[in-house]
């Protein structure tokens, strides 16, 4: 898990008839929100190119795969100059994928795209924790619908800080707050945008070790969304139940609190999303905690509540989940959640969906051009990533169709 960066691309043969049939269906349904016929046609060409072009998905490579004269110019115009609304296309895609995938969570994943120059939109030099060095790169977040078997991105937001590229209109970048859109803002906005699309609320799962967690907690609480945030070992928390009757609530790091609660460890089995059919075991402990400086409101417990609300409500403001690997003393992962009624198994399995998104990013999303956009406009990046999401959805649906066919044959 962790920040998504460049990885070796897997090789795919040109789309077979089954994949092309699925692509036609997905494009016909999702691109119906585009009012102009020529835009719908270019959208299908672009997705076809992402699925079939070999190597980097440059305009020239995409155009070559279409076998249409002047395709490079028309596709460039479709992505970088046209005025179609990517949010409508993403809304349609998200609703369709929600129906066919029945996701368990909204996983928010960072994407770091290394760049050799500084002229592309959103390029900055940032320190990347897991690489241990500063990298000149674009920084963005994607929202993925994630289940046990598949994950698909349906929304993207690019970090564009105060050093806005020349020629980019201020109105071109939707604002989250009074300031410019920063890397911290993108993780919040990518969720709140999707929440406005009429999707069924799902737990928001984020590895937040590189983000300030307090704004995430406040934003998702205000939006009435369940969340599960991975935090760092030194994250300060308050533990009322470990105060030993003292007036002052115990304040300590997340790692220290889980060590005090090790007696509550219980084994939980989970199927690794990254390695199909591999069953693993984690030792899990849960501890009620408070986040310093944030008051997370309690809600009355109605007699009848939805499955999501039943996970959110409870007597404690938040829960701290610690996971240990068997026979290891130091805690491996630390998560904070407002789903205070959820079981150890539910929370642990939700946390593992970041591995599902990581896996499908590497195996599918990179191959259909997630890090190949070379333009300089914010709008162009957003439209390219929208088409990448469509191509990724086609690959996911093809894989699920193939898995169903194999299951029927073996049955």
pLDDT tens across 315-326, in order? 348 999 999 998
Return the structure tokens found at 359.
């896996």
Residue 170 confidence (pLDDT) above 70 = no
Which pLDDT score, from 0 to 100, does residue 169 have?
A: 39
Which pLDDT score, from 0 to 100, does residue 168 have?
A: 42
Which pLDDT score, from 0 to 100, does residue 277 have?
A: 79
Confidence of residue 313 (pLDDT cuts 50, 70, 90): very low
Give the length of the chain: 411
Which pLDDT score, from 0 to 100, does residue 13 have?
A: 41
Give the whole-angstrom CA distance, residue 159 versus residue 188: 12
Average pLDDT over residues 82-111: 95
Highest mean pLDDT among 234-248, 316-330, 378-392: 378-392
Give 253-303 pLDDT, tens digit per residue.
999 999 998 889 999 999 998 887 789 999 999 999 999 887 655 554 444
From 78-92, 147-161, 235-249, 328-342, the region with the lowest mean pLDDT: 235-249
Give 12-26 pLDDT, tens digit per residue.
444 567 898 999 999
Which pLDDT score, from 0 to 100, does residue 247 have?
A: 61
Confidence of residue 252 (pLDDT cuts 50, 70, 90): very high
Q: Contact 357/204 with Cβ under 8 angstroms?
A: no
Q: How many CA atoms, within 13 angstroms, populate the side-chain half-sphere of residue 18? A: 10
Which pLDDT score, from 0 to 100, does residue 244 have?
A: 62
Helix (H, G, I), strand (E, B) or coil at 146: strand
Closest CA to 140 of 89, 212, 190, 191: 190
Average pLDDT over residues 361-379: 93
Neighbours of 151 (CB within 10 A): 30
Which pLDDT score, from 0 to 100, does residue 382 have?
A: 96
Which pLDDT score, from 0 to 100, does residue 166 have?
A: 42
The better pLDDT of the pair 314, 252 is held by 252
The answer to pTM > 0.95 is no
Give the C-alpha distances (Å, rounded to integers) separating 284 from 147, 270, 346, 349: 21, 12, 11, 11
Closest CA to 184 of 224, 237, 126, 252: 126
- Give the chain's mean pLDDT: 84
Give the whole-angstrom CA distance, residue 216 versus residue 231: 12
Neighbours of 260 (CB within 10 A): 15
From 163-172, 228-237, 334-343, the region with the lowest mean pLDDT: 163-172
Strands 333-337 and 318-324: antiparallel
Return the structure tokens found at 292.
């310093």
Q: Contact 227/351 with Cβ under 8 angstroms?
A: no
The better pLDDT of the pair 15, 88 is held by 88
Which pLDDT score, from 0 to 100, does residue 383 have?
A: 97
Give the whole-angstrom CA distance, residue 78 versus residue 38: 9
- Cα-trace Rg, the chain: 22
Confidence of residue 187 (pLDDT cuts 50, 70, 90): very high
Give 194-204 pLDDT, tens digit per residue.
999 999 999 99
Average pLDDT over residues 155-176: 58
Running DSSP on this structure, what letter comes out for residue 123? -
Give the whole-angstrom CA distance, residue 371 versus residue 367: 9
Give the whole-angstrom CA distance, residue 137 versus residue 373: 12
Which pLDDT score, from 0 to 100, does residue 37 have?
A: 94
Return the structure tokens found at 50.
């992402």
Which pLDDT score, from 0 to 100, does residue 63 have?
A: 87
Return the structure tokens found at 64.
């070559």
């Amino acid at each position: 898990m962790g920040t998504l960066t460049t990885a070796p691309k897997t090789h795919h043969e040109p789309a077979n008839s089954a994949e092309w049939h699925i692509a036609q269906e997905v494009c016909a349904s999702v691109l119906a929100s585009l009012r102009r016929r020529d835009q719908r046609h270019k959208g299908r060409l672009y997705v076809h190119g992402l699925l079939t072009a070999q190597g980097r998905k440059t305009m020239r490579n995409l155009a070559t795969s279409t076998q249409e004269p002047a395709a490079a110019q028309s596709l460039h115009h479709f992505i970088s100059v046209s005025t179609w609304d990517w949010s409508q296309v993403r809304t349609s895609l998200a609703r369709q994928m929600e129906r066919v995938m029945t996701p368990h969570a909204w996983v928010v994943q960072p994407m770091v795209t290394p760049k050799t120059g500084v002229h592309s939109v959103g390029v900055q030099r940032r320190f990347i924790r897991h690489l241990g060095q500063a990298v000149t790169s674009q920084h963005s977040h994607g929202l993925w619908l994630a289940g046990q078997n598949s994950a698909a991105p349906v929304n993207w937001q690019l970090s564009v800080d105060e050093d806005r590229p020349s020629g980019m209109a201020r109105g071109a970048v939707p604002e989250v707050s009074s300031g410019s859109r920063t890397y911290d803002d993108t993780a919040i906005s990518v969720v709140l945008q999707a929440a406005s699309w009429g999707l069924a609320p799902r737990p928001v799962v984020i590895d937040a070790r590189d983000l300030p967690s307090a704004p995430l907690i406040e934003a998702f609480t205000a939006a009435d969304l369940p969340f599960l945030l991975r935090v760092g070992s030194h994250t300060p928390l308050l533990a009322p139940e470990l105060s030993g009757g003292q007036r002052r609530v115990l304040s300590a790091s997340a790692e220290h609190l889980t060590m005090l609660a090790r007696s509550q460890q219980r084994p939980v089995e989970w199927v690794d999303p990254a390695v199909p059919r591999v069953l693993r075991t984690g030792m899990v402990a849960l501890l009620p905690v408070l986040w310093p400086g944030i008051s997370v409101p309690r809600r009355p417990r109605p007699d009848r509540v939805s499955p999501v609300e039943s996970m959110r409500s409870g007597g404690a403001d938040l829960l701290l989940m610690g996971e240990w690997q068997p026979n290891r003393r130091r805690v491996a992962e630390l998560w904070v959640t407002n789903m205070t009624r959820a079981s150890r198994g539910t929370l642990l399995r939700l946390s593992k969906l970041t591995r599902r998104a990581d896996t499908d990013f590497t195996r599918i999303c990179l191959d259909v051009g997630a890090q190949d956009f070379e333009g300089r406009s914010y709008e162009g990046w957003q439209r390219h990533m929208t088409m990448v999401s469509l191509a990724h959805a086609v690959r996911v649906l093809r894989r699920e169709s193939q898995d169903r066919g194999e299951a029927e044959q073996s049955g």
